[in-house]
Amino acid sequence: MGKCSKAISLASEYMNSSKGIQELLKEFSCTIQFYLEGEEPFALKLQDGKAKFLEYEIKDADVEIYADSDTFFDIIIGKINPDQAYLDGTVEIKGSIMYAVILKHVGEVMRKEHPKLFATVKAFSRFI
C-alpha cells in the first residue's frame, strides 16, 4: 500500500467517525477510482454518509482520478492546489467531475477541522 492509499484509507476511517462529514456525504452515492503512478489502483466508495476504502480496482467507477503519487500526496496534505493541478494537467479526471469536487470539499473540511490529522499524515509519509 502506497502513501496515498494509506492516507485515503485513514481519511475514510475519519469520515466514518465524524458526524459532520457523514452529514455532508449523506446525499451522495459514488465510487471514486484512483490510478496513481507508483501505487496499485484503489477506490473510495461513498454511500449513505459512509466511506469505504477499497484496496483494489473498481470497474465502472463514477469518477477516475489519474496522477503521479507524489503529486497527489502533495494535494492531500495541502501543498498543491487541486484546482491548479487539474488545470495544468498534472491531475486528470474522467467521469463526473462533481464527485471529484465533493471529495475536494470533504478534504478541505477535514483539513480545517483537524489539522493535526493532516500533520500526522505528512509526518508519516517520510517513513514510507
Tens of pLDDT, residues 56-92: 999 999 999 999 999 999 998 888 999 999 999 999 9
Cell of 4: 496515498
Question: Tell me, what's the pLDDT at 109?
Answer: 83
pLDDT over 70 (residue 125): no
Q: In terms of C-beta distances under 8 Å and separation of at least 24 residues, what long-range contacts does 94-97 make, across chains too?
A: 94/63, 94/64, 94/66, 95/61, 95/62, 95/63, 95/64, 96/30, 96/62, 96/63, 97/63
Tens of pLDDT, residues 31-40: 999 999 999 9
More reliable by pLDDT, 121 or 42: 42
Domain definitions of the chain by residue range = 3-121
Q: What percent of the chain has pLDDT over 90?
A: 51
**How far apart are alpha carbons 123 and 128 in whole angstroms?**
10
Give the CATH fold of the 3-121 domain.
Nonspecific Lipid-transfer Protein; Chain A (3.30.1050)
Question: Tell me, what's the pLDDT at 15?
Answer: 87
pLDDT over 90 (residue 22): no
Highest mean pLDDT out of 52-61, 101-110, 119-128: 52-61
Using the CB atoms, write b or e for 57-82: b if 16+ within 10 Å.
Answer: ebeebbbbbebbbebbbbbbbeebeb
Question: Tell me, what's the pLDDT at 24?
Answer: 83
